[in-house]
């Protein structure tokens, strides 16, 4: 299969490029500058990019955003809604997503690998790992029932934390997610959760199995704990300051500011919450960027009405407003792949898997051309899953 036109290869833009894809191996054979791209292809104004990657989503499968809804929705409804969400994700150009705690993504990841659902590749973190009584523990229920219905494993002490990692790995998890702090979900204040000792045991066990570890952190003290305990990425990272950002940059730790979820409309805001978020959106991404922290795109969308899967391109839009279009594109492709430990995705280069999308317009000039209506072509592993270009590829 041959594609011709403008290419963003994960690093740079080529105005006239040619990509050759082997349909047999599903890999890119070559991608190069071409002298002879026909005029009709240039007139199409299509840009080919690596398939987009959202490094932080949840498949919660409920229209409303509530902890009760997330834990009480039946697995069947949850799965049916999640299948719709995954289809929306693939149609909007996302060829890989990482889930960060839910009850169905391990099995859906298996189904995707079997080729029986329309879905991005799912790097599943399985069940998130949190402390008993933490922010995502539905404390209105008795503990044994809460443990049964939760999307988290409650673990206390290093050994339970290690066991929780092993249970996830046993079930096929390709990433591990832990809570280093509370959040605003439970309505409480920001405080640390899981000790450094516990966090260290989690990231150490993840390392042993060669999967990336990610930690949810609100507040400077929680971010510091995450850095000290050897995690691959800081998720959300509200409260980032210069000192912590420098330590993240020198340690090669990724930062996922999940701007989209804070920009999404919320009914239950408070002055306390708003002050954290205001600083996060206005200062912290700039601080991270100024010292060279690797910033990646993750929406934290859960599939609710306000955080709809299919609108995940918004993270690139919000990031671009702070770090510019080129870095926002890298954050959504090559750097995101690196964050997930994927060495064969995220670039349009020789021998990389052929995850390629085509969008109308030039995202270097207008990042909004990543929005779903503009995504005309989606190829995953060399297979065309969507083609609205009017072109025939063979």
User: Least distance in Å: CB of 156 to Zn ion?
Assistant: 21
Instruction: Quickly list DSSP for 61-105.
Output: --SS--HHHHHHS-HHHHHHHHHHHHHHHHHTTEEEEEE-S-SSH
Region binding Zn ion by CB under 5 A among candidate stretches 40-48, 63-71, 100-108, 133-141 = 100-108
- The position carrying tokens 């989503």 is 57
**Distance in Å, CB of 289 to Zn ion, minimum:** 22
Please give the radius of gyration of the chain, using alpha carbons only, rounded to the nearest integer: 20
Of 48 and 301, CB closest to Zn ion: 301
By beta carbon distance, the residue nearest Zn ion is: 300
Q: How far is the CB of 298 from Zn ion (least distance, A)?
A: 8
Concatenate the DSSP letters of all residues of 198-266 into one string: HHHHHHHHHHHTT--EEEEEESHHHHHHHHHTT-SEEEEEET--HHHHHHHHHHT-EEE--HHHHHS--
Nearer to Zn ion, 52 or 217 (CB): 217
- Binding segment (CB under 5 A) for Zn ion, from list 94-102, 145-153, 248-256, 329-337: 94-102
- Give the binding range for Zn ion (CB under 5 A) out of 126-134, 151-159, 166-174, 300-308: 300-308
Pairing of strands 46-50, 356-360: antiparallel
Should residue 178 be labelled a site residue for Zn ion when binding is judged by CB under 5 A? Answer: no
Minimum CB distance to Zn ion smaller for 14 or for 211: 211
As a dihedral over the C-alpha atoms of residue 113, residue 203, residue 309, residue 278, rounded to 10 degrees, the angle is: -170
Q: Which stretch binds Zn ion (CB under 5 A): 97-105, 191-199, 327-335, 342-350?
A: 97-105
The smaller minimum CB distance to Zn ion, of residues 46 and 222, is found at 222
Given phi > 0 = left and psi -120 to 50 = alpha, else beta, which region is 45?
Answer: left
Rule CB under 5 A: is residue 300 a binding residue for Zn ion? yes
Compute the distance between CA of residue 175 and CA of residue 254 in angstroms, rounded to an integer. 14
What CA–CA distance (Å, rounded) separates 211 from 126? 12
Residue closer to Zn ion by CB (options 261, 378) is 261
- Packed helices 158-170 and 196-208: angle between N→C axes, nearest 10 degrees: 30
Instruction: Decide: is 57 part of the binding site for Zn ion (CB under 5 A).
Output: no
| Closer residue to Zn ion, CB minimum distance, 48 or 318 | 318
Nearer to Zn ion, 300 or 315 (CB): 300
- Residue 201 Cβ, how far from Zn ion at the closest point, in Å? 21
Report yes or no: 123 and 99 within 8 Å, Cβ to Cβ.
yes
- Count of beta carbons in the 10 Å neighbourhood of residue 8: 25
Total site size for Zn ion, rule CB under 5 A:
2
Q: 56 vs 330, which CB is nearer to Zn ion?
A: 56
CB closer to Zn ion, 28 vs 165: 165
**Closer residue to Zn ion in complex, CB, 53/376:** 53
Q: Does 19 bind Zn ion (CB under 5 A)?
A: no
CB of 146 to Zn ion, least distance (A): 19
CB of 55 to Zn ion, least distance (A): 10
Within 256-285, the residues that bind Zn ion by CB under 5 A are none
Q: What token pair was written down for 203? A: 């990231």
Closest separation between CB of residue 135 and Zn ion, Å? Answer: 11
At residue 203, φ and ψ (nearest 5 deg) are -70, -35
Per CB under 5 A, does 100 bind Zn ion? Answer: yes
Who's near 51: CB < 8 A, 6+ residues apart?
A: 93, 94, 95, 96, 120, 333, 345, 355, 356, 357, 378, 379, 380
CB of 157 to Zn ion, least distance (A): 24
Residues numbered 123 to 162 that lie near Zn ion (CB under 5 A) are none
Find the shortest distance in angstroms from Cβ 300 to Zn ion: 4
> Where along the sequence are the contacts to Zn ion (CB under 5 A)?
100, 300
């Amino acid at each position: 299969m041959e594609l011709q036109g403008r290419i963003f290869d994960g690093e740079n833009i080529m105005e006239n490029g040619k990509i050759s894809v082997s349909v047999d191996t599903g890999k890119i054979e070559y991608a190069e500058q071409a002298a002879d791209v026909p005029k009709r292809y240039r007139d199409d104004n299509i840009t080919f990019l690596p398939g987009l990657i959202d490094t932080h989503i949840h498949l919660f499968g409920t229209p409303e955003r509530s902890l009760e809804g997330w834990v009480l929705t039946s697995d069947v409804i949850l799965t049916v809604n999640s299948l719709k969400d995954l289809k929306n994700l693939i149609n909007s150009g996302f060829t890989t997503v990482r889930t960060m705690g839910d009850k169905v993504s391990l099995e859906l990841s298996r189904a995707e690998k079997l080729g029986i659902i329309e879905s991005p590749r799912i790097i599943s973190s399985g069940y998130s790992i949190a402390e008993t009584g933490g922010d995502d523990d539905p404390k209105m229920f008795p503990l044994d029932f809460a443990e049964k219905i939760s999307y988290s494993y409650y673990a206390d002490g290093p050994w339970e934390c290690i066991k929780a990692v092993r249970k996830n790995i046993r079930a096929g998890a390709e990433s591990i997610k832990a809570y280093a702090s509370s959040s605003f979900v439970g309505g409480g204040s920001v405080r640390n959760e899981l000790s450094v000792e516990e966090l260290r045991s989690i990231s150490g066990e993840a390392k042993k199995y060669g999967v990336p570890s990610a930690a949810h952190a609100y507040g400077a003290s929680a971010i510091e704990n995450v850095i000290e305990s050897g995690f691959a990425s800081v998720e959300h990272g509200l409260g980032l300051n210069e000192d912590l950002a420098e330590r993240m940059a020198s340690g090669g730790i990724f930062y996922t500011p999940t701007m989209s979820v804070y920009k999404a409309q919320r009914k239950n805001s408070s002055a306390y919450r708003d002050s954290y978020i205001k600083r996060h959106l206005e200062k912290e991404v700039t601080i991270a960027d100024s010292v060279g922290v690797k910033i990646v795109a993750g929406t934290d969308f859960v599939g609710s009405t306000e955080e709809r899967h299919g609108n995940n391109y918004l993270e690139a839009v919000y990031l671009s407003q702070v770090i510019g279009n080129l870095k926002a594109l890298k954050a959504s492709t090559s750097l995101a792949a690196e964050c997930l430990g994927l060495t064969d995705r995220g670039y349009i280069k020789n021998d990389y898997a052929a995850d390629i999308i085509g969008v109308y317009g030039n995202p270097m000039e207008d990042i909004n051309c990543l929005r779903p209506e503009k995504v005309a072509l989606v190829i995953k592993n060399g297979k065309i899953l969507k083609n609205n270009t009017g072109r025939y590829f063979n």
